């Protein structure tokens, strides 16, 4: 599938677009309705009329930002218009929500009249806590922001200007530290005179660059005093008293080149002519003014940054705007001023100089980051960015008098921010990145299934796994052609494989005293069971893991795996684990798929295996052994069984945090758990061990269908080699997730 088709597919699959509105209060009963709307809603209306600040108390205003655009400067695509710019504005909303839990309404205005945009924003002030201007062309964007900042009493921020400026300024401070250059001495050239270039230049001067040491260029060359062609009042601010007239002349001897222009604007000759230890930020998107390869080919002492994620030092606006607005909203700031922008610059620069935790490295495929020429800007998926930038913004707002609700305890505020970072889907992303660090061969017995083929395409494109498809070669090739998939992966047809006879002989050896004949073994391998064939590939080391079951019943995958691979030595059974992902957390449920009525021994086994698997996924396990009884409150054989299982776990794995027997709500509700002061569980459990298959299976299916949880699994535990089972209703994303888990499992034999 081409990237173009993949992007269109991403936006149109399921619910159209990328955002939705979700109610935060219940509306299930007549009483709920009377509170949500008439007559109950009259009370907050009257309260707000008496005290307008109560809008922050009774409505979503305090966490709601408008992303406003007219589509005249959409990405690097130019004037696409308001409607065509809407996907970008929705995407901006996704980033606000993902990185700072800020809600967004995107507002696309069908006008190129700046005064109409100003008026629209002013009329919207009662609705929003802040305005993010986006993709509005220069010079109109300067005028619009200036007027709104003068007339509105909520933060207004044009991200195209200030976002880029803040990130590259942080990178600049760190690059200067590495080169030993002083900001007051450097000579800087800014190529580009649009919104972001204007703001980058202003912020560099605010940081200490001397205006006389700055040259700005546009498509006509150097912006100099006395120039009339292509000038406006915003360019005039940077008109230099200089005889230089071209970018080539300006670059000669310069310490820094800021590129906010177009692909290829910087040449190797310019780089060669710069001062020692040059700093080049080529920030044009999608293609920079000069690539790092081109610059480093000319000289080895250059420090580079670009706007692209596939190069080190990405100048990515997502490092700025979500956290800037988070801090501004949390103190109800009336503006985002220069001091707040500078606070963000210094917070980001400081964070990049700190030791990078393993969790960040894991999020980027175990790549190690250390402050230096290839790491002068924090990574967007570094969770510490929120904890550094938002408090810095809030503090600067308080220090400069624009905060209407100052934070009294900054340490507590930072703790609250940390608690807001739900782990949910980030755990799956961590697993995927771990898989990417060492992709393994995963065999798919149902190689002709459409979902399997689409998932295989994703696995290859993202480097998560090395898929092997088992099935009729012609049928698989035809299906790929029908789906327009350009998929270059091994296809193994059991009817023609050179290993089929070898596999048949091995199956006969394993099962000859368990009812199988030599001819039956050959028939199974050639025609009857591709799952047997796939498990034999894993058994023989021709694949690292198996993932099957999308077209079959659960036992039809488990049985061949047990017959060929078997369970681990010393175990009484194999066990199933589900990962249930909620908005604010993740829980692991076991056994939900295999053992119908486990003994205490088997329950203990399930708990220990689940803890090992959860730890392998970089989650610290906290285990609750569930029952209808709370710590002996009921005397019954079923409760006694769970109690005995807890004792066995504590004997065999004393390092584990495990408690029980306990009721499900006691295990996950802090207030209920606090009532049992003797419990080893001091915080809610995240690994829930069910007393039988009835309860476990019912629970995970209800959570999935009614509780809004995303279920990932079943993750099979206790097999000799990695085998995992898909469900018939799994979609492509489910298959990709399970494949990532299979790879991580294979990485930890």
Whether the CB-CB separation of 710 and 608 falls below 8 Å is answered with no
Residue 1 pLDDT exceeds 60: no
* Stretch 463-472: mean pLDDT: 94
**Mean pLDDT, rounded, for 407-424:** 76
Q: Is residue 730 part of a domain?
A: no
**Residue 280 pairs with which residues in a beta bridge?**
257, 304
Q: Which residue has the tokens 């009884």?
A: 629
pLDDT digits (tens, 9 = 90+) for 76-126: 788 999 999 999 999 999 999 988 999 999 999 999 999 999 999 999 999
Q: Which of 576, 616, 588 is CA-nearest to residue 685?
A: 588
CA–CA gap between residue 278 and residue 189 (Å, rounded): 11
- Clarify whether residues 16 and 122 are in a common domain: yes
| 582 and 706 assigned to the same domain | yes
- 709/594 same-domain check: yes
To the question of whether residue 123 is assigned a binding role by annotation, the answer is: no
To which H or E segment does residue 191 belong?
Answer: strand 188-191
Two structure tokens written together for 331: 């103190």
| Residue 567 pLDDT | 87
Task: For residue 258, list its beta bridge partners.
Answer: 190, 281
- For the domain that residue 588 is a member of, what is the CATH number? 3.40.50.10750
Q: Which residues form the domain of 366?
A: 319-421
Query: For residue 47, is it within any domain?
Result: no
Examine the pLDDT at 422 and tell me if it is beyond 60.
no
At 421, the pLDDT band (50, 70, 90 cuts) reads low
Indicate the Cα dihedral angle 324, 329, 334, 335, nearest 10°: 10
The pLDDT-based confidence of 375 (bands split at 50, 70, 90) is: very high
| Run of H or E residues at 466 | strand 466-470
- Whether residue 203 is found in the same domain as residue 249: yes
**CATH classification at residue 329:** 3.40.50.720
Give pLDDT, residue 710.
Answer: 78
Count up the domains in the chain and report the number: 5
CB 683 within 8 A of CB 619: no
348 token code pair:
């980001």
Kindly report, residue by residue over 652-697, the tens digit of the pLDDT. Answer: 999 999 998 999 999 988 888 888 888 888 888 999 999 999 999 8
- Cα separation values, 121 from 74, 153, 154, 171, 455, Å: 19, 11, 11, 33, 44
Annotated binding residue at 226? no
- What's the mean pLDDT in 469-490? 91
Contact 354, 348 (CB under 8 A): no
Q: How far is CA 656 from CA 280, 623, 653, 675, in A?
A: 51, 8, 6, 21
State yes or no: pLDDT of 377 exceeds 80: yes
* CA distances to 51, 152, 470, 519 from 688, in Å: 47, 51, 36, 45
Region of residue 73 (left: phi > 0; alpha: psi -120 to 50; beta: else): beta
Element (H, E) at 131: strand 130-133
280 vs 460: CA distance, rounded Å: 34
Q: For 679-691, write each residue's pLDDT tens digit.
A: 888 888 999 999 9
Phi and psi (nearest 5°) for 280?
A: -125, 115
Q: How far apart are CA 122 and CA 606, in angstroms?
A: 60
pLDDT digits (tens, 9 = 90+) for 352-365: 998 887 667 767 77
Q: Which DSSP string corresponds to 693-744?
A: HHHHHHHHHHHHHTS-PEEEEEEEESBSS-EEE--TT--HHHHHHHHHHHHH
Mean pLDDT value of segment 420-426: 59
| 581 is an annotated ligand-binding site residue | no
In this prediction, residues 636-644 reach a mean pLDDT of 93
Classified as helix, coil or strand, 382 is coil
Per-residue model confidence (pLDDT) at position 683: 87
Asked if the structure places residue 259 within a domain, the reply is yes
Q: Report whether 160 belongs to an annotated binding site.
A: yes
Average pLDDT over residues 373-389: 91
> What CATH number corresponds to the domain at position 539?
3.40.50.10950
- Distance separating alpha carbons of residues 231 and 83, to the nearest angstrom: 30
Which run of H or of E encompasses 578? strand 575-582
Structure tokens at 707: 């509780």
d(CA 430, CA 491): 29
Q: Has residue 45 been placed in a domain?
A: no
Active site residue 92: yes
Give yes or no for residue 423 having a pLDDT over 60: no
Which of the following is catalytic: 61, 92, 479, 721? 92
Statement to judge: residues 330 and 415 lie in one domain: yes
- Largest Cα separation within the chain, whole Å, is 97
The Cβ-side half-sphere exposure at 596, using a 13 Å CA radius, reads 0
Q: Is the dihedral of CA 724, 730, 732, 734 positive or negative?
A: negative
| Selection from 522, 530, 527 nearest residue 503 by Cα | 522
Residue 2, pLDDT score: 55
Q: DSSP strand E in 62-129: where? A: 64-69, 103-108
User: 84 and 188: one domain?
Assistant: no
Same domain, 380 and 495: no
* Domain end marker among 378, 394, 421: 421
For the stretch 550-576, pLDDT in tens is 888 777 788 888 888 888 888 888 898
| CATH number of the domain within which 150 lies | 3.40.50.10380
What DSSP line would sit under 224-235, residue for residue? BTT--TT--HHH
Q: Last residue of a domain, which of 90, 124, 154? A: 154
Q: Is residue 10 part of a domain?
A: yes
739: in domain: no
Q: Is 57 strand, coil or helix?
A: helix
Q: How far is CA 339 from CA 62, 171, 395, in A?
A: 22, 18, 10
- What percent of the chain has a predicted confidence (pLDDT) above 90? 58
DSSP string, 626-681: E-SSSTTSS--HHHHHHHHHHHHHHHH-TTSEEEEEE-HHHHH-HHHHTT-TT-S-
Torsion sign, CA atoms 289, 293, 294, 295: positive
Q: 456 and 410 in one domain?
A: no
- Closest among 94, 483, 192, 132 to 325, alpha carbons compared: 132
Helix boundaries (H) for 364-423: 384-399, 410-419
**What's the average model confidence in pLDDT over 254-281?**
95
CA–CA gap between residue 644 and residue 246 (Å, rounded): 82
Which residue from 550, 562, 553, 595 is spatially nearest to 577, judged by alpha carbons?
595
Looking at the structure, tell me whether residues 150 and 174 fall in a common domain: no
Nearest to 360 by CA among 337, 388, 383, 326: 383
Same domain, residue pair 150 and 168: no
259-297 burial, b for 16+ CB within 10 Å, e for fewer?
bbbebebbbeebbebbbebbbbbbbbeeebbbbbebbee
CA distance 496 to 23: 57
Distances (CA, A) of 675 to 73, 232, 482, 689: 59, 70, 61, 21
Q: Are 671 and 544 in contact (CB under 8 A)?
A: no
pLDDT band for 704, please (50, 70, 90 cuts).
confident
434 burial via Cβ count (<10 Å: 0-12, 13-18, 19+): buried
**Which of the two residues, 546 and 616, has the higher pLDDT score?**
546
Pairing of strands 214-218, 188-191: parallel
Determine if residue 74 is labeled as part of a ligand binding site.
yes
Answer whether 187's CB lies under 8 Å from 257's CB: no
- 41 located within any domain: no
Q: At what angle do helices 86-100 and 384-399 cross, to 10 degrees?
A: 90
135 appears as a binding residue in the annotation: yes
Q: Are residues 11 and 114 in the same domain?
A: yes
Domain boundary among 399, 421, 443: 421
Of 275, 272, 307, residue with least CA distance to 291: 307
Distance (Å) of CA 491 to CA 56, 457, 482, 494, 613: 60, 13, 17, 10, 30
- 331 shares a domain with 412: yes
For the record, the structure tokens of 244 come out as 């230089």
Q: Is 386 annotated as a binding residue?
A: no
For residue 635, is pLDDT > 70?
yes
Instruction: Report phi then psi at 492, rounded to 5.
Output: -115, 115
**Residue 733 falls inside a structural domain:** no
Q: Is 320 annotated as a binding residue?
A: no
């Amino acid at each position: 599938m081409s990237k173009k088709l993949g992007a269109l597919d991403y936006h149109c699959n399921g619910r159209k677009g990328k955002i939705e509105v979700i109610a935060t209060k219940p509306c299930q009963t007549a009483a709920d309705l009377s509170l949500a709307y008439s007559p109950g809603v009259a009370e907050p209306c009257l309260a707000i009329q008496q005290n307008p600040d109560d809008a922050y108390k009774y409505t979503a205003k305090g966490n709601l930002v408008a992303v406003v655009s007219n589509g005249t400067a959409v990405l690097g695509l130019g004037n696409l218009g308001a409607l065509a710019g809407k996907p970008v504005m929705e995407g901006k909303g996704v980033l606000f929500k993902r990185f700072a839990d800020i809600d967004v309404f995107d507002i696309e205005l069908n006008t190129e009249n700046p005064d109409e945009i100003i008026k629209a924003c002013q009329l919207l002030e009662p609705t929003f806590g802040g305005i993010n201007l986006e993709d509005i062309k220069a010079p109109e964007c300067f005028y619009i922001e200036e007027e709104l900042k003068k007339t509105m009493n909520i933060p207004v921020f044009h991200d195209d200007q200030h976002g880029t400026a803040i990130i590259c300024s942080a990178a600049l401070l760190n690059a200067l530290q590495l080169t030993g250059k002083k900001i007051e001495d450097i000579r800087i050239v800014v190529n580009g005179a649009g919104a972001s270039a204007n703001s980058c230049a202003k912020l560099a001067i605010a940081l200490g660059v001397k205006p006389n040491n700055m040259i700005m260029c546009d498509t006509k060359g150097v912006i100099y005093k006395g120039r009339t062609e292509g000038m406006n009042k915003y360019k005039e601010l940077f008109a230099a008293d200089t005889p230089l007239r071209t970018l080539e002349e300006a670059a000669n001897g310069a310490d820094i080149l800021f590129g906010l222009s177009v692909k290829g604007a910087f040449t190797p000759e310019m780089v060669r002519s710069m001062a020692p230890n040059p700093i080049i930020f080529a920030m044009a998107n999608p293609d920079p003014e000069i690539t790092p390869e081109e610059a480093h080919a000319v000289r080895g002492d250059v420090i580079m940054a670009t706007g692209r994620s596939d190069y080190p030092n990405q100048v990515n606006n997502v490092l700025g705007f979500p956290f800037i607005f988070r801090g501004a909203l949390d103190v109800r700031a009336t503006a985002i001023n220069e001091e707040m922008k500078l606070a963000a610059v210094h917070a980001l620069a400081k964070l990049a100089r700190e030791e990078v935790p393993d969790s960040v490295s894991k999020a980027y495929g175990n790549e190690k980051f250390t402050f230096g020429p290839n790491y002068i800007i924090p990574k967007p998926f570094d969770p510490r960015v929120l904890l550094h930038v938002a408090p810095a913004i809030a503090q600067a707002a308080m220090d400069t008098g624009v905060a209407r609700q100052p934070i009294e305890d900054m340490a507590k505020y930072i703790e609250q921010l940390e608690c807001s970072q739900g782990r949910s889907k980030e755990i799956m992303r961590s697993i995927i990145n771990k898989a990417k660090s060492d992709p393994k061969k995963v065999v798919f017995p149902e190689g002709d299934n459409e979902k399997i083929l689409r998932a295989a395409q994703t696995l290859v494109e993202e480097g998560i796994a090395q898929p092997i498809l088992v099935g009729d070669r012609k049928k698989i090739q035809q299906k790929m052609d029908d789906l327009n998939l350009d998929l270059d992966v091994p296809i193994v047809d059991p009817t023609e494989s050179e290993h089929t006879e070898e596999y048949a002989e091995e199956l006969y050896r394993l099962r000859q005293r368990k009812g199988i004949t030599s001819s039956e073994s050959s028939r199974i391998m050639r025609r009857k069971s591709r799952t047997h064939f796939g498990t034999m590939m894993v058994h023989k080391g021709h694949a690292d893991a198996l993932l099957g079951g999308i077209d079959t019943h659960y036992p039809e995958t488990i049985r061949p795996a047990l017959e060929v691979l078997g369970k681990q030595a010393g175990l009484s059974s194999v066990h199933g684990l589900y990962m249930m992902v909620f908005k604010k957390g993740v829980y692991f449920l076991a056994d939900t798929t295999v053992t119908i009525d486990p003994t205490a021994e088997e329950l203990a086994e399930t708990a220990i295996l689940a803890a090992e698997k959860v730890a392998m996924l970089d989650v610290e396990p906290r285990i609750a052994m569930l029952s209808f009884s709370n710590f002996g409150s009921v005397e019954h054989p079923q409760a006694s069984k769970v109690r005995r299982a807890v004792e066995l776990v504590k004997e065999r794995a004393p390092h584990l945090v495990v408690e029980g027997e306990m009721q499900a709500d006691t295990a996950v509700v802090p207030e209920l758990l606090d009532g049992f002061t003797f419990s080893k569980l001091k915080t809610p459990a995240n690994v829930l061990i069910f007393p039988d298959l009835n309860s476990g299976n019912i629970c995970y299916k209800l959570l999935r269908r009614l509780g809004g949880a995303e279920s990932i699994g079943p993750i099979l535990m206790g097999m000799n080699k990695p085998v995992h089972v898909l469900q018939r209703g799994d979609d492509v994303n489910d298959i990709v997730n399970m494949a990532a888990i299979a790879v991580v499992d294979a990485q930890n034999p």
